[in-house]
Structure 1
Amino acid sequence: MSAVAACGLPRSGPNKREIYASSVENGGDAFIFAVTPQVTRITSQEATYGFGSAFRGAGLVGSDTIAAGDQLTVTVYENVRDDPLLGNSGQRVSALNQLQVDGQGNIFVPYAGRIRAAGQTPDSLRETLTRALSNQTPDPQVLVQRVAGDGSTVTVTGSAGTRGVFPLEQPTRTLTAMLAAAGGSTEDPQVTLVRVTRGSQTGQIWLQDLYDHPEDDIALRPGDRITVERDTRKFIALGATGQSVVPFETRDLSAIEAIATVGGLQTNLADPKGVFVFRDEDPATVRALTGRTDITTPQRVAYVLNLTEPSGLFEARDFRIDDGDTLYVTEAPFVQWTKTVQAILGTTSAADSLTSVGQ
């Protein structure tokens, strides 16, 4: 029987004894920890999402705030009939149409020069122009009208109902309002992330949290980029559960839920005492688990669950699966024994058949 076993019978991977043999304690390169309430507490570091103070502290952009790219119409009424400043003789009203605010936020108005327009409202810009022109023509009356241009827009991409470039207007000055204008999300809010990029800063939040916490409904700024995407986390299942790459279907996934997701343990193959979760663990967590202070780099870690004990089921319920984890279920010891017996019996049967043919 040992000779047959040495030939290398097919199996789904290493058994429990071989995994333990590769531990740091035995000269290997992986730390192995039995899952206990303390281990669960140390490793349960849920990723927190949300917007920083730079996002949350920004107030609403004025509904008529001028931005780079906007189109302006400036109309000047002059109190002179002869030789007006901007118009022809006898023309008291002059209209400067389609003045585009340049990339630096400025416009050019004859006799007033280069004027900073971005960040102002039409009313404040009117006052600025009135002061600038007063030195050239007596008591000018100025009217400023704005049409939102390319500079006052927000880009929405990903799994939003409608992707595109949307104007930042009074009804769409907040994140939820802009998402509503873009048709919301085509994915389940529980597993959908909303990411906002503003210059070099980025913040993200679960869509359901955005709905549940109005304080995270941040004010938008021209040029913001909003990406709506489904959670991309996944784990790998190997061993006596089959082989598959499994996406997260919920925000928080426990080991018992992961096992159930892949169809549970195969009762004719799996060793319920040898359910492993392999992970590249961060050094701070490994230091907390081992009590060592010399660990400064990520470490290979295997967490083992024993599902034959009632406490093991509770631990599997509480232990969190992380993105990129490998769930590996070892084969029960009797499986290899059965394979060995079958191989021997199969060899004997084959030999008997050859003998019969030779007679």
Structure 2
Amino acid sequence: MNLAKFLLLALFASTAALSGCTALPRSGPDDAAVEKQASVRVTTEGRKVGIDYILVDINKTILPSFQQPAATSIRDSFGGGRGGPPDVPLGIGDTVQVSIFEAQAGGLFIPTEAGSRPGNYITLPSQSIDRSGTLTVPYAGRIVAAGRPKEQVEREIEEKLSNRAIEPQVVITTVNGRSSEVAVLGDVAKAGKFEVTSAGERVLDLISEAGGISAPSIETYVTLQRRGKSGTISYDKLQTTPAENIYASPGDTILVNRERRTYTVYGAAGLNGRFDFEETKLTLGEALGKAGGLLDARADPGQVFLYRKVSRKTMQGLSIDTSRFVGEDIPVIFRANMRDPGSFFAVQQFAMQDKDIIYISNADSVEVVKFLNVLNSVTSNTSGAVTDAVDGRDAAKRIFRN
């Protein structure tokens, strides 16, 4: 007879003789009562969650792929800022002034009696490009301006006035470029809309115009939204990687957000709960240290697990078959064997990521001690109720079943 069967029989023998009305302590219904009295049960065989995952042991082979936090990029979404700044055409809502020069007085706009004066020109009243995208110039009519460079609109006005004005030349000045604004929002000192010019303003230039970031740089992320697409990058990487600091385009939205980086620890650790990265990069070894390390009396050092979703590309780079998984992010459980002295070097190189979960399993001996404590509690109470004996029997069955 093995030890498990012996202990189970000992429990049954001792609980069968119990009598009296004293009940074992309990704060509410047990799991068996909850399941029994449910009107409808939605479950799976073996109560399995049904989420497939990959189990990867942390070793020197995989470390190069996980020594740095996951990369983020806006260059990959919008291009690497090659070439000059983007064109800034006129647009609906822009306020412009149109100045018309003539070669001499006596033409269409400069009367003969005006005589000689510096610069024979007139400036028309400021006007906004209307919803149809046009502006109005006397004797030239309505001119389509929205979406066109100023130089092109100037040439068209000159052509339409050439048979009435004396060698006309036109200059358009943007008073207020509403269509060429970029919104900078979020954790900046002065959120608002800022105009981009033909000189070219990059993402960091516009964040600077908004007064800079108002949160720790290591916890700050910048998202660029443009025509239905978006890309995100950490502020630190944006500062140190010039290729990521791309030109902004009219109509862009720049979101600056602080993301509180945390990880969670469960199981046989000194402390359980949620922990902040704080203003630092963190490795698995440091994360375990912040949580008080492994409990000597409970933990199985060979079963330290880290739960994370990893990109399909990264897993394929390790020659791992990902064909049974759907989507780009794959659930992975990393396991560290802290019984191996070399693992202490490995966990100091394995980078933590935001929202990682660490679980430290109990040693097998702890489960045996738990059962013996239950057995001792039942057998020492000679006045326990028969109901408690039955509950103890069912609990023991579940222990050995699991």
TM-score after normalising by structure 2:
0.67
Which residues of 2 match residues 38-117 of structure 1 at below 5 A? 38-41=61-64, 46-52=70-76, 54=79, 56-57=81-82, 59-60=84-85, 66-76=90-100, 79=104, 81=106, 85=108, 94-102=122-130, 106-113=134-141, 114-116=143-145
Q: Match of 2:41? A: none
Change (3 A) 1:240 1:103: farther
Deviations 1:182-229 (A, max 9, x none): 111112222322121222343332212222233433222211110111
Contact 2:108 2:164 in 1 (8 A): yes
Which has the larger displacement, 230-239 or 326-335? Answer: 230-239
Change (3 A) 1:347 1:278: same
User: CA–CA distance in 2 between the matches of 1:256 and 1:166?
Assistant: 44
Report the RMSD for the aligned CA atoms in angstroms.
4.1
What is the rounded CA distance, in whole Å, between the counterparts of 1:5 and 1:229 in structure 2? 58
Task: Mark the CA change 1:308 to 1:222 in structure 2 (over 3 Å): closer, same or farther.
Answer: same
Is the 8 Å Cα contact of residues 55 and 219 (structure 1) preserved in structure 2?
no
Structure 2 stretches lacking a partner, 5+ long: 1-5, 16-25, 27-45, 115-119, 386-402
Provide the C-alpha distance between the structure 2 equivalents of 1:308 and 1:61, rounded to a whole number of angstroms.
58
1:211, 1:233 → 2: CA distance?
19
Q: Which residue of 2 aligns with 1:272?
A: 301
1:261 matched to 2:286? The reply is no
Q: Partner letter of residue 299 of structure 2? A: A
Give the partner amino acid of 2:292: G
Aligned CA distance change for structure 1 residues 80 and 303 (closer, same or farther; 3 Å): closer
Which one of 253, 264, 279 corresponds to residue 236 of structure 1? 264
8 Å Cα contact 2:96-2:126 kept in structure 1: yes
Alignment of 1:1-359 (within 5 A): 2-3=7-8, 30-41=53-64, 46-52=70-76, 54=79, 56-57=81-82, 59-60=84-85, 66-76=90-100, 79=104, 81=106, 85=108, 94-102=122-130, 106-113=134-141, 114-116=143-145, 118-121=147-150, 126-140=154-168, 142-169=170-197, 173-231=201-259, 234-241=262-269, 242-246=271-275, 248-249=277-278, 253-280=282-309, 292=321, 295-297=324-326, 300-351=331-382
Q: Which has the larger radius of gyration?
A: 2
With over 3 angstroms needed to count, the CA separation of the structure-2 counterparts of 1:59 and 1:115, relative to structure 1, is same
Distance 1:248 1:104, change over 3 A: farther
Which residue is equivalent to 1:13? none
Say which SS state the counterpart of residue 129 (structure 1) adopts.
Answer: helix
**Contact in 1 for aligned 2:219/2:261 (Cα 8 Å):** no
Q: Percent identity?
A: 25
Q: Report the 3-state secondary structure (helix = DSSP H, G, I; strand = E; otherwise coil) of the residue aligned with 1:351.
A: coil
Secondary structure, in 3 states, of the residue corresponding to 2:177? coil
Alignment length, in residue pairs? 332
What are the superposed Cα offsets for residues 243-300 of structure 1, whole Å, 9 maximum, x if unpaired? Answer: 4344554685432132233333233432222211234555566666676585454765
Other-structure match for 1:17: none
Q: Give, as a single letter, the amino acid of the residue that structure 2 aligns with 1:70.
A: D
Deviates more, 1:286-295 or 1:177-186: 286-295
Distance 1:311 1:202 in 2: 42
Separation in 1, partners of 2:83, 2:228: 16
Q: Residue 178 of structure 1: SS of its match in structure 2?
A: helix
The alignment partner of 2:136 has SS state of strand
Q: Choose between structure 1 and 2 for higher RCO, CA contacts under 8 A separated by at least 6 residues.
A: 2
Which shows bigger deviation, 175-184 or 139-148?
Answer: 139-148
Say whether the 8 Å CA contact 1:107–1:115 is kept in structure 2: yes
